Structure 1
Amino acid sequence: MKMIIALGSNLHQEQNLLKAKELLGHSFDGITFSEPEWTEPIGIKSDRFLNCIGTFEAELSRTAVEKILKRTEQVMGDSHQNHQLGKVLIDIDLIQYGNETIRKIAWL
């Protein structure tokens, strides 16, 4: 089943995006990433975001995929508290699960 995820960071952007890609590569065989794209923040005051899209095939439940994404964020030290302060070390969202669109991304 095809999965699409979105990654974004507004703090040490290039470093955090590279680390997230590395960690996700250990979790999802064959994952590929788009070229990173700089975007202005939406709804918060912060530095610019660096974003990219990841795609991969997996036979995992949606819940299992979302747990891996959340665990990756936590391993990198991200937290809800950081987000409330406008600091996003890494944010990883499931965008598409098979044929189901999970969420729209404002910067796409």
Structure 2
Amino acid sequence: MTGKKKLILSLGSNCDQEQSLATAKIKLRDMFGPDLMFSESVWTAPIGIESCKFLNCLVFTHTSHKLEYIIKAMKHIERTCGNRKRARTNNIVKMDIDVLKYDELILHEKDWSRNYIMELMKECPF
């Protein structure tokens, strides 16, 4: 894919988890089109907060968008899924989308050592 960069995202929700993930997946497919692959979804214990379990998955795709645009777009999708700052202060995370990798740039380095990330990365097609 000439001109396109590899992109790996992590999705997580601890409130209306299945519906929140489904909504985010629709929005991501609208943005990136058919060149998009979702890993299996896994339930995980919260890390660093007291809350319900999280439902997580990874997204693998290619993009010609710049990183700054992707980050802003992911924040918009989080809000579309019902994410609010006030709820976050109460440890309610309707949707959290992190850019883990953009081309060769690794982001959220601590996340890469989490067991569920390492396990789901086995599904990465690139």
Q: 2:15 — aligned with what? A: 11
Q: 1:20 — aligned with what? A: 24
Residue 79 (structure 1) aligned with residue 84 (structure 2): yes
Gaps of 5+ in 2: 118-126
Write out the 4+ residue segments of structure 1 that deviate beyond 4 Å after TM superposition: none
- Paired with 1:60 and 1:18, the residues of 2 have a C-alpha distance of 23
Q: 1:91 — aligned with what? A: 96
- Paired with 1:72 and 1:40, the residues of 2 have a C-alpha distance of 23
Instruction: Kindly provide the amino acid, as one letter, of the partner of residue 72 in structure 1.
Output: I
- Give secondary structure in 1 for the equivalent of 2:99: strand
RMSD: 1.0
Out of 36, 39, 44, which is 1:39 matched to? 44
Percent identity at matched positions?
34
Q: Could you list the per-position Cα deviations for residues 71-107 of structure 1 after superposition, in whole angstroms to 9, with x for gaps in the alignment?
A: 1011122022211111000000100000010113234
Instruction: Kindly provide the amino acid, as one letter, of the partner of residue 75 in structure 1.
Output: T
Q: Could you list the per-position Cα deviations for residues 6-29 of structure 1 after superposition, in whole angstroms to 9, with x for gaps in the alignment?
A: 000001111111111011100112
CA-CA distance at 1:49 after TM superposition = 0.3
Gaps of 5+ in 1: none
Out of 61, 65, 69, which is 1:56 matched to? 61
Q: Report how many residues are paired.
A: 108
Query: Rg larger in 1 or in 2?
Result: 2
- Paired with 1:59 and 1:74, the residues of 2 have a C-alpha distance of 23
